[in-house]
């Protein structure tokens, strides 16, 4: 009879102690855990003393008592796996919040300066204030394994799209900057054109603040191959005919018949890098006529040399030089000027325009927290049919204060000039911008 009682007590003690020692399996509240451990510790020895028992039962009871003496910690929030599938990386979310405070001393410019839109002549209004946060951006990155190798996907957007208003809510339209997948040597999707050397860009408050840059993102199929310090890239990219319409050609429509072909080679060394780029493109337009369709086409190309040289300390020099015929949008100030579209002998014709551009920039670190950039840029377009020349010159200087790893403050002054030269006249326009910004990265 006593053995049966002892067995019942041992069964209860075992159950209570086991409940207290199940971390991660049962969500046991603190009070229940304490009571069960205390019960097992206190009463199991008393039961043993109260009645004779087999040697095995005595050893079992002593073992249960020892388990109850240990501290048992129950974690109600078990650790989650680092990825949802084997071989996948965690989803990364990054970006920044950026506020810009602009004062244009001369003519009014866009949120990011467009030198082609600088008004010509002296009738432009002076003094314009603009506050916005449209350059704030967010991006997502995810990598995962496949039987054919690792795939990395990346998507990023900001609020510099067209539309929105400043009347009430200061709404802005979200736009895609990057959206691509990279697999081995291949990249498919939208990102910086292979013709673009982002690492050679001057560090400015706004991208594109120096004339002569190639500022282009588009969809593509790219293949890259590395050979020690040399990297070779080639791509087929989205075409977009951008021509200058002259009198009588307003009803014509751009026509894209083949992708742009780009080839790039880049040398990376401890002292910096040098990159050479080449693009070949086709320009075409058509116009509906009675009884048929008339088409005009020509080819365009551009070559570029760019790079970045490291100097003693943290300083560096950055540069780019681009030239071509029919280059158009591959130099930001010759966008929509790749060729003149005109009527010759009542037929639609295209004549590719010559254009060139470039910049030179110097970055100096005053100390680990303060740095400055000084840059100058130029661009020029020669319209062959109208015999006009349009040129641009920019000068800028800025100062950045790195408050901490994520928080950056900056102030910048930029001067830009646009000049149009014809047979009989020269007209000018200018923009003078003072801009402050605050950026918090996450």
Express as a percent the part of the chain with pLDDT over 70. 79
Nearest to 271 by CA among 231, 315, 302, 238: 315
Query: How many angstroms separate the CA atoms of 168 and 236, rounded?
Result: 43
Q: Are the CB atoms for 246 and 267 separated by under 8 Å? A: no
Query: How many angstroms separate the CA atoms of 181 and 288, rounded?
Result: 39
pLDDT at position 103 is 95
Domain of residue 98 covers 92-441
Query: How many angstroms separate the CA atoms of 218 and 239, rounded?
Result: 9
DSSP string computed for 82-138: SSSSTTPPPPEEEEEEEEEEEEESSS---SS--GGGPPPSS-----EEEEE-TT-EE
Count of all residues that appear for the chain in the document? 442
| Beta strand 186-192 pairing with 217-227 | antiparallel
Q: Are residues 422 and 289 in the same domain?
A: yes
pLDDT at position 246 is 85
pLDDT at position 58 is 55
Q: Are residues 63 and 180 in the same domain?
A: no
Q: For 101-113, what is each residue's pLDDT tens digit? A: 999 998 888 888 8
**Per the domain annotation, does 238 fall within a domain?**
yes
pLDDT at position 368 is 96
Q: Are residues 27 and 99 in the same domain?
A: no
Q: Are residues 12 and 98 in the same domain?
A: no
- Phi then psi for residue 185, to 5 deg, are -90, 0
**Per the domain annotation, does 217 fall within a domain?**
yes
Nearest to 279 by CA among 340, 246, 238: 238
**Per the domain annotation, does 371 fall within a domain?**
yes
Q: Are the CB atoms for 259 and 282 separated by under 8 Å? A: no
Q: Are residues 63 and 99 in the same domain?
A: no
Q: Are residues 65 and 214 in the same domain?
A: no
**Per the domain annotation, does 78 fall within a domain?**
no
Sign of the torsion angle spanned by Cα atoms 433, 216, 255, 181: negative
Q: Are residues 127 and 227 in the same domain?
A: yes
CATH code of residue 347: 2.40.160.10
| Among candidate residues 69, 100, 120, the one where a domain is terminated | 69
pLDDT at position 46 is 40
Q: Are residues 354 and 287 in the same domain?
A: yes
| Among candidate residues 38, 69, 100, the one where a domain is terminated | 69
Query: How many angstroms separate the CA atoms of 117 and 136, rounded?
Result: 24
Distances (CA, A) of 409 to 73, 132, 438: 47, 15, 5
Chain centroid to Cα 235, Å, comes to 20
**Per the domain annotation, does 200 fall within a domain?**
yes
Per the structure, the count of domains in the chain is 2
| Beta strand 316-325 pairing with 292-310 | antiparallel
Q: Are residues 204 and 352 in the same domain?
A: yes
| Beta strand 253-254 pairing with 244-245 | unpaired
pLDDT at position 57 is 52
Q: For 186-221, what is each residue's pLDDT tens digit? A: 999 999 999 999 999 999 998 878 999 999 999 999
- Reduced to 3 states (helix: H, G, I; strand: E, B; else coil), residue 345 is coil
**Per the domain annotation, does 142 fall within a domain?**
yes
**Per the domain annotation, does 74 fall within a domain?**
no
Q: Are residues 259 and 316 in the same domain?
A: yes
Query: How many angstroms separate the CA atoms of 220 and 198, rounded?
Result: 17
Q: Are residues 361 and 410 in the same domain?
A: yes
Sign of the torsion angle spanned by Cα atoms 244, 328, 134, 182: positive
Q: Are residues 248 and 389 in the same domain?
A: yes
Nearest to 115 by CA among 352, 335, 425, 304: 335
Instruction: Walk along the chain (442 residues) in steps of 10 and give the mean pLDDT of each run.
Output: 48 48 42 41 41 53 55 48 64 97 90 90 77 96 91 96 83 94 97 97 89 95 97 98 87 92 98 98 88 87 98 97 97 94 85 97 98 98 92 97 98 96 90 96 96
| Among candidate residues 69, 100, 126, the one where a domain is terminated | 69
**Per the domain annotation, does 393 fall within a domain?**
yes
Nearest to 354 by CA among 335, 327, 332, 393: 327
């Amino acid at each position: 009879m006593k053995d049966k009682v002892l067995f019942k007590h041992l069964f209860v003690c075992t159950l209570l102690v086991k409940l207290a020692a199940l971390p991660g399996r049962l969500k046991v509240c603190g009070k229940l855990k304490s009571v069960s451990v205390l019960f097992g510790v206190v009463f199991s020895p008393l039961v043993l003393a109260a009645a004779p028992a087999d040697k095995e039962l005595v050893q079992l009871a002593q073992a249960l008592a020892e388990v109850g003496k240990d501290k048992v910690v129950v974690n109600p929030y078990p650790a989650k796996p680092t990825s949802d599938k084997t071989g996948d990386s965690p989803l990364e979310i990054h970006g920044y919040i950026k506020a810009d405070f602009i004062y244009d001393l001369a003519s009014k410019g866009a949120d990011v300066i467009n030198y082609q839109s600088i008004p010509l002549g002296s009738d432009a209004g002076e003094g314009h204030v603009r506050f916005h946060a449209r350059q704030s951006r967010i991006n997502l990155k995810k990598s995962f394994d496949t039987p054919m190798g690792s795939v990395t996907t990346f998507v990023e957007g900001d609020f510099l799209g067209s539309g929105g208003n400043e009347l009430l809510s200061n709404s802005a339209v979200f736009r895609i900057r990057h959206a691509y997948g990279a697999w081995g040597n291949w990249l498919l999707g939208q990102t910086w054109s292979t013709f673009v050397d982002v690492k050679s860009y001057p560090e400015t408050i706004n991208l594109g603040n120096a004339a002569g840059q190639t500022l282009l993102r588009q969809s593509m199929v790219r293949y890259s191959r590395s050979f020690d310090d040399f990297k070779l890239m080639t791509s087929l990219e989205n075409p977009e005919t951008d021509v200058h319409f002259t009198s009588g050609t307003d009803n014509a429509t751009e026509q894209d018949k083949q992708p742009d072909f780009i080839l790039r080679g880049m040398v990376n060394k401890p002292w910096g890098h040098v990159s050479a780029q080449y693009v070949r493109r086709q320009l075409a337009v058509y116009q509906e006529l009675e009884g048929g369709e008339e088409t005009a086409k020509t080819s365009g190309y551009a070559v570029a040399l760019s790079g970045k040289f490291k100097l003693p300390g943290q300083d560096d020099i950055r540069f780019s030089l681009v030239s071509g015929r029919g280059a158009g949008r591959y130099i930001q100030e010759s966008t929509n000027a790749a060729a003149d579209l005109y009527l010759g002998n009542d037929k639609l014709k295209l004549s590719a325009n010559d254009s060139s551009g470039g910049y030179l920039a110097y970055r100096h670190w005053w100390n680990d927290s303060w740095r400055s950039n000084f840059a100058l840029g130029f661009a020029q377009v020669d319209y062959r049919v109208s015999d006009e020349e349009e040129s641009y010159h920019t000068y800028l200087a800025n100062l950045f204060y790195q408050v901490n790893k994520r928080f950056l403050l900056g102030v910048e002054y930029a001067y830009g000039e646009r000049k149009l030269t014809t047979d009989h006249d020269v007209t000018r326009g200018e923009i003078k911008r003072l801009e402050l910004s605050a950026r918090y990265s996450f």
